[in-house]
Each structure stands twice: as structure tokens, then as C-alpha cells.
Amino acid sequence: MTGHVGGAAARDLLARGEPVRAVVRDAARGAGWTAAGAELFVADLGDRAALAEAFRGCRGVFVLLPTDPVAADPDAYHRGLADSIAGAVLDGGVPHVVMLSSIGAELAEGTGPIRWLHHMENRLRETGVPLTAVRASHFQEKVETVLDAALGAGVYPVFGASADVPVPMIATRDIGGVVADSLTTPAPAGEIVDLDGPEYSERQVAEELAAVLGKPLTVVTVPRPAWVTTMVEAGVPLPLAEELTGLYDAEQRGVLRPGGGRRHTCATELGETLRHLVKSIS
């Protein structure tokens, strides 16, 4: 619950006067949610029994699949975590589940870490519990991953053939609002919600970020053979760098597209997100 989307959804629900149970791995990190009026429950996502107990009695739950960058066997680890979450949904008697997914989740392979979301969607559907799969594309907050390069070297790296291809980029606060709506007014049989939003190229993102930082940024398009090496040199663990390379390859092939669910358009502009993001770290 301490992540971007889960936090945004919880704040939205609390503002509506809805009861919220925040599930965290570390009780110390949940103190703020207790102060905000949420009920706190400590459980690890890999502990099916504890998670089922956390879910028990809820009108609906929001779940996501966090990425562990240092898992020794990323595929087995993330599939196992998805299995645990789905099992807890079933065991906990959850009447409706909302999942943060991604465009491309209808594809079983060739999408890097998105294939784990494909697995999780299917495991949740197998429980028979109505599922709302919220499929997002680029998060506007992804800029966090290049802030060190931007602040330190004045560089904005792009892992793609071009920095000038516009794609939808969505603020996590908007995704949280969709999650909150889906929890309070669920579709009876579940649904897929494809999120759309303002479109930006990576060059436009760099320009917006430069304006917020008040310093020029040089856009550097990283050649495909150097993707893994560049990420590892920046501190990304090798297994995660390889998975991200698979994701970037899928994007270059054009296979990550809306999957035909209900389309929802998000409105927050990138500049607003960047100003808030930079202010929060300054």
C-alpha cells in the first residue's frame, strides 16, 4: 500500500469516507496510514495465509505485482508471488478484486516483465472472483528512474530507436482514482480497463523535466546493444536489466497496445506530475 498507485487509491478512498485496510510488510512504514484513518494489517505478499486473513471481510481488494530487482530466479519468484496473491483472494472470500496490470498483458511471452502480469491476470480469473484489470501504459513518474542521470550528468537517456515517438503517459494519481472507482462501483462480471492519457515523446519529457529542474538536459538515445550494459552501470541488477530490455524490445516491435477493454482517459498533464515529483525530493 506504500507504493504510488496503492497510496493514491487509498487517499482517494479515505477522502470519500470509505473504510480502507492498508496491507504492508513493515508496520513502521504503515504508521502514516493509521494516522490517516486506515486500518493497518501486516502481511507479506508471499504469505498466502496471512494475506488471506488481511483480505477477509473486505468488500473488494486492490492488488499489484511488485518487481523484486534482485530475485535469483525472477520468473519463478514473480509467478510464485502472483500465485500467492491469487490464492489469498480465493481463500479470503474476496467478492471483487482490482489489479494493476499493463498494456500487453494479454500476451503470454515476449514482453519482459509484463508476462508476469499476464500470468497473474489469468490466475486471478481462475479463482472465479470478478476481476477488474486496470491496464496502464507509461507512468509519468517513470522519470524517477533517470533523475540521477539528469541531476548528476545533465543527461536524459532513452532506451529506444527514437526519442520523438509520442506515447500515452499517465499519472499514478489518475490510476489511483480509477482503482478507487472500480472498488466502490465494481463491474458485476469484472472487466478490463485500458487507460489512455496525454501523449508525449521522450524528448518532450526531457524538455519538461529540464524546465522543472531549471537546467538543460541532453537527450541520449542508447544503442540497442548497449541497453543492458548501460543499465547495469547505472546500478540496475543484471536480471532486471535483461527483463527491462525485453520490455523495451516489445515496445519497439509495437506489440504493446490497448487490448480492447473499456477505455478510460486520464487527464493529469506531465508538467504537474514533474513539479510535484521534483518538489518531493528537494
CB 262 within 8 A of CB 189: no
Q: How far is CA 67 from CA 45, 86, 106, 112, 244, in A?
A: 12, 16, 19, 12, 11
pTM for the predicted model, two decimal places: 0.94
Q: How far is CA 134 from CA 53, 172, 180, in A?
A: 24, 12, 11
CA distance 262 to 267: 16
Residue predicted with more confidence, 207 or 33: 207
- Residue 171 DSSP symbol: -
Mean pLDDT of the region 259-276: 92
Give the dihedral sign, CA 113/255/182/277. positive
What pLDDT was estimated at residue 145?
A: 87
Confidence of residue 84 (pLDDT cuts 50, 70, 90): very high
Cα first-last separation, the chain: 24
**Helix (H) or strand (E) run with residue 151 in it:** helix 147-153
What pLDDT was estimated at residue 3?
A: 63
Residue predicted with more confidence, 254 or 123: 123
What pLDDT was estimated at residue 2?
A: 47
User: Would you put residue 37 in left (φ > 0), alpha (ψ -120 to 50) or beta?
Assistant: left
Each residue's pLDDT tens digit, 172-220: 999 999 999 999 999 999 999 999 999 999 999 999 999 999 999 999 9
Mean pLDDT, rounded, of the chain: 93
Each residue's pLDDT tens digit, 220-250: 999 999 999 999 998 889 999 999 999 999 9
Confidence of residue 88 (pLDDT cuts 50, 70, 90): very high
Does 12 score more than 80 pLDDT? Answer: yes
CB 227 within 8 A of CB 245: yes
- In the chain, what percentage of residues exceed pLDDT 90? 83
Does 1 score more than 60 pLDDT? Answer: no
State the DSSP string of 173-227.
HHHHHHHHHHHHS--TT-EEEEEE--EE-HHHHHHHHHHHHTS--EEEE--GGGH
Mean pLDDT is lowest, of 1-10, 62-71, 100-109, 173-182, for 1-10
Provide the grid cell at 118.
Answer: 499476464
CA distance 65 to 63: 7
